[in-house]
Amino acid sequence: MVLKLIAAVTPVFRHIHSTKMAKSRFEYVKKFEMEDKLLLNSWIVLRIDGKGFHKFSDKHNFEKPNDIKALNLMNKCAKRVIQDFNEIILAYGQSDEYSFIFRRDTKCYNRRQAKILTNVVSLFTSSYVFYWKEFMTTELLYAPSFDGRITLYPTDKNLIDYVSWRQADCHINNLYNTCFWKLVQTGGLSPKEAEETLRVSCIRINNFVVFNYNQTAKLASNQKFRI
């Protein structure tokens, strides 16, 4: 009986136009949509982070401690984002993350947070896949994923301190990773032994162990600014 009823009413639904339904009594559901406009006169900083990139880099045989090809791929994706969003005034990247700074008075998507966040993250992620073969020599085994967050900074000093924070984080991480892989690759230590060695040492000792840390690739230790 149910199947017969469905078959009987199907032709009727074929004559209903969706455009008319959109302006019908059902349109009230739009009231449930949240108003998510970002605060005026604030710096908008959108930071993208790779999701599960420790596993991703292992599966795709990234060079340790820094894979310059992978870093250049990230820079290419950032450049693509900047080309599409001309209200981005500065971008800074390190490892598997990138920060994009929008003009304080940006009107991008009428400052709607969801629109800005989803479009930038989507473009960056799709660009990572699109440009993969241009930079990487291995096959892309599975789709990469990036998450994103937006933070508002009310003053210029807050913004400068944010960028300084990311730069300091880049230096600290690169120093640790360079020391770690030096101990593993040439020191004969296991990853666990190298981790324990670094845990009980200090930065100055690490700097001595790494042998000329200051001469490591500037791309890895400073990463990239794009304006």
What is the DSSP secondary-structure string of 104-121?
TT--GGGGBHHHHHHHHH
Query: Which tens digit of pLDDT belongs to each residue from 138-184?
Result: 999 999 999 999 999 999 999 999 999 999 999 989 988 998 999 99
Please tell me the distance from the alpha carbon of residue 126 to that of residue 122, in angstroms, as a whole number. Answer: 6
Residue-range domain boundaries for the chain: 43-226
95 marked as part of a ligand binding site: yes
115 marked as part of a ligand binding site: no
Question: What predicted TM-score, i.e. pTM, was given to this entire model?
Answer: 0.81
Query: Which tens digit of pLDDT belongs to each residue from 31-56?
Result: 898 889 999 999 999 999 999 999 99
Architecture of the 43-226 domain: 2-Layer Sandwich (3.30)
Reported as a pLDDT band with limits 50, 70 and 90, residue 13 is: very low
Q: 171 in helix, strand or coil? A: helix
54 marked as part of a ligand binding site: yes
CB-based burial, 31-48: b 16+ in 10 Å, e otherwise: eeeeeeebeeebbbbbbb
With vertex at residue 37, the alpha carbon angle to CA 34 and CA 39, rounded to the nearest 5 degrees, is 135
49 marked as part of a ligand binding site: yes
60 marked as part of a ligand binding site: no
Do 220 and 66 contact (CB within 8 A), yes or no? yes
96 marked as part of a ligand binding site: yes
